[in-house]
């Protein structure tokens, strides 16, 4: 359910941004003769799925690690919120810098670039941040809502299910091998959670 919500939010935002005038010097999109998605649109979708995947794993790692160290909900919430905000801003900044460089290269190229392939750094930055937040909300809310000793197991289970769905969605959009992609993200996510849980357990404290 979560990946479809993420993609829905992303697509709605993308359509909204498409109605805004683009920055000076940017080619305005022209109607396409075909009805199929362009390579740029597929790249946007893949980027959205990957951004959501990053949000799931990174914020889950933080909240699981902190929850392994302490049962104090205030500390867990503060840590998760800091990871969510910091991660979203970091993703936005990284996308803005990367896409700005790509757009500069497109404009400097003597080869004509189709209008719908011109990239916009602001679109990429905001979409990446929204995708990250959409993914990060799952572990963040799970670790807050689930009580007591079930907090970590339920969060980990929900995260792994979400990784299966986002990994499969990303693979289909990119035309990659679905089982292989799912295995990669699940194994990588599991190792990340296991390591952060181990670190949190080593430094576990009791907070009054």
Chain centroid, CA 95 distance in Å? 12
Q: Is residue 19 part of a domain?
A: no
Residue 86 lies in a domain: yes
Q: Does the pLDDT value for residue 86 go beyond 90?
A: yes
User: Higher confidence at residue 107 or residue 75?
Assistant: 75
Domain that holds residue 102: 2-14+39-202
Residue 75 lies in a domain: yes
Structure confidence at residue 14 (pLDDT): 40
Of 55, 37, 40, which Cα lies nearest the Cα of 166?
55
* Structural domain count of the chain: 1
Distance CA 88, CA 131 (A): 8
Q: Is the pLDDT of residue 127 over 50?
A: yes
- CA nearest neighbour of 77 among 159, 134, 143: 143
Does the CA dihedral 182-185-191-192 come out positive or negative? negative
Over residues 63-75, mean pLDDT = 89
Q: DSSP assignment, residue 23?
A: P
Res 183 pLDDT > 60? yes
Q: Is residue 114 part of a domain?
A: yes
Q: Give the model's confidence band at 115: pLDDT under 50 very low, under 70 low, under 90 confident, else very high.
A: low
| pLDDT of amino acid 208 | 35
Cβ-based neighbours of 63, under 8 Å, separated by 6 or more? 76, 79, 80, 83, 139, 140, 143, 155
Indicate if the pLDDT at residue 29 is higher than 60.
Answer: no
Rounded-to-integer distance, Cα 165 and Cα 35, Å? 26
Query: What pTM, to 2 d.p., does this model score?
Result: 0.71
pLDDT at 5: 36
- The residue with tokens 């109607």 is 31
26 lies in a domain?
no
Instruction: Give a yes or no: residue 30 inside a domain.
Output: no
Q: How many helices (H) and strands (E) does the chain have?
A: 6, 0
For residue 25, tell me if it sits in a domain.
Answer: no
């Amino acid at each position: 359910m979560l990946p479809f919500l993420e993609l829905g939010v992303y697509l709605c935002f993308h359509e909204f941004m498409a109605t805004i005038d683009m920055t000076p010097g940017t080619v305005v999109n022209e109607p396409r003769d075909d009805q199929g998605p362009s390579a740029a649109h597929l790249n946007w979708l893949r980027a959205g799925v990957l951004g959501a995947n990053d949000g799931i794993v990174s914020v889950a790692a933080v909240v699981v690690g902190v929850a392994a160290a302490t049962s104090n909900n205030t500390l867990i919430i503060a840590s998760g919120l800091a990871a969510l905000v910091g991660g979203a801003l970091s993703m936005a900044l990284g996308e803005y810098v990367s896409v700005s460089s790509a757009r500069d290269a497109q404009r400097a190229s003597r080869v004509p670039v189709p209008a719908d392939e011109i990239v916009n750094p602001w679109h990429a930055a905001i979409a990446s941040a929204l995708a990250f937040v959409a993914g990060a909300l799952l572990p963040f809310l799970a670790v807050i809502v689930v009580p007591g000793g079930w907090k970590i197991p339920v969060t980990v289970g929900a995260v792994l299910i979400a990784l299966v769905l986002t990994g499969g969605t990303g693979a289909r959009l990119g035309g990659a091998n679905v089982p292989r992609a799912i295995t990669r993200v699940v194994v990588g996510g599991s190792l990340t959670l296991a390591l952060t849980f181990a670190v949190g357990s080593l430094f576990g404290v009791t907070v009054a």
